[in-house]
Amino acid sequence: MPRTADFHSINEVKKPVDNRVYHNDSTCPLGRVVMAAGEYSLGKNNYRLCRDCDSRNGPGR
């Protein structure tokens, strides 16, 4: 798994609280878009892990 430091889009604040996510996998399609745009901050910011990153992390990781 290509794990990376936790990060989130700076635009997450524009979403409803329940829809805000962070990423931790460099192969996550949405996470790659966020990183490529350069519009991100490091950390979880109390957001939930995105579904793609969660599935890529696998059980017990």
pLDDT in tens, 6-27: 999 999 999 999 999 999 999 9
Q: What is the mean pLDDT of residues 49-53?
A: 96
Does the pLDDT value for residue 46 go beyond 80?
A: yes
DSSP 11: G
Does the pLDDT value for residue 5 go beyond 60?
A: yes
pTM: 0.89
Beta-carbon neighbour count of residue 2 at 10 Å?
9
For 49, the token pair is: 């892990």
Provide the pLDDT confidence category of residue 57 given band limits of 50, 70 and 90: confident
Task: Tell me if residue 41 falls in helix, strand or coil.
Answer: strand
